[in-house]
Structure 1
Amino acid sequence: MTAIISASDLSDELAGARPPVLLDVRWRLSTAGAGAPAFDGRAEYEAGHVPGAVYVDLDAELAGPPGERGRHPLPDTAEFGAAMRRAGVRADTPVVTYDGGQGWAAARAWWLLRWSGHPDVRVLDGGLAAWGDRPLETGAATPEEGDFLPVPGTLALLDADGAAALAREGLLLDARAGERYRGEVEPIDRVGGHIPGAVSAPTTDNVTADGTFRPAAELAARFAALGAAEASEVGVYCGSGVSAAHQVLALEVAGVPAALYAGSWSEWTQDESRPVATGA
């Protein structure tokens, strides 16, 4: 089973005997200051979504409250399970996630469901833009209650100490933009820079101009050049564990298992005693 699905294949599956549950996870990273209007993913969803898709709020349902564990810490397991059941997720039914096109939020939902034990989850490659001129549905879907009960642990998860150790002993990839890794700018978190020993690997380099993933062979070559071929273990972090999930997804497409440091840089920098490296 692949971790991504094309729009044409999704269209075929939706018309088939066993259509997947669809989750619309539109979300946008905001660097706007206080008082700026928040991005309203639900309004965009209700204006037009893939037929049958249910809206999932990343900040409210795919993350816990921001704080010492970062800006998007993992949600409470019971609350996450309840949110997925409200969205119609069933243990025996495939799930496809998508977002507005960037893929980060859809990958966060993919990672959480896979980590929680769901066996069949894919991301729509290219997001809603890839759906093209196929019909859209407006308003809000009202799915039948699902039965999914999360059992965390299927995918590898890192804490701060584990991320530090992996940077020394394996390969820890930093999925943020290069200028944030180098510490030249930091628009969101307390301080710029990176975990010592981490390797810069911007998530944006995993996709083509239209937002779809580069071919698996190209991704495998990219990660091999970054050190994945020799590393005993691979892990990924970003600012708050969202774009890093997209990097874990790209690694999955490339055939490289990888752990996620969910707290990421926003958790790492909460503790001023943790070291910060800058530069290339």
Structure 2
Amino acid sequence: MTLVQADQLHRVFRMGRGAEDVTAVNRVSFAIERGESLGLVGESGSGKSTIARILVGLERPDAGALTVGGQDQLARPRGRAARLARARAVQMVFQDPNGSLDRRLSVAETLVRAMRLHGIASTAAEARIRTLALLDRVGLTERHAAARPHELSGGQRQRVAIARALAVEPELLVLDEAVSALDVSVQAQVLDLLSEIRRDTGVGYLFVSHDLAVVEEVCERVLVLYRGTVVEEGPTEQVLSAPQHAYTQLLISSTPGPGWDPERVVRDRITFTQAIALDAL
């Protein structure tokens, strides 16, 4: 069953003062099934984060349509209840939890505020029970409930950010480079956690990343973006093992690994850039 349906999303940033406008998202269409994890990959400036921000309502497209659970995400919400319902359906986990967590609040206060805002917990006792369950879900304990963000490690802070997103029981989590700031061992733990959460809850993921290895681990399907345009899409294993588009091939060859040749990557990038320039003429 389809959870997210995006059709021909288009977003142009007007630079003004004679500067050339930037097309961040160019007629992008995709769907996410319930419980599915879809990866968005591409280099900086490819439009990944703009699409993520459109999904959670932080950006509005200039054109296109977007539904989540059959509800129009682009129509102006009428009243507070409609705004909260839309926010509850799609939650976002950012790359840097320091920027999204209030350093003045304890972990428990952060989770309780999210639940009460959306009417999830009606009493203090219920809020406490749900808070401890959420902490357990993300691999934290009751001891962490009283801590403030600066008292936690980077991996623990990201687990709190995930718990806060899950606190309102969303249908979709948008994860924007959510593990890229973590060291390798902690990253692996958080990826395992995300896989477990999706398996147990059925929540869908839009997983935004530049790291192909991470996308390969957690996503069934992938969209490859270049300058706001989808250049390739399909099952993750198929796209990454037998890429058809030159840009996808370049992304894969740019990833360090056995037999990696940085000089060849530079040559391939020059060739690709020249080919794109010729096509634009």
The TM-score bracket by the shorter chain reads under 0.3
TM-score (norm 2): 0.25
Higher helix share: 2
For the pair shown, the structure with the greater C-alpha radius of gyration is 2
Higher strand share: 2
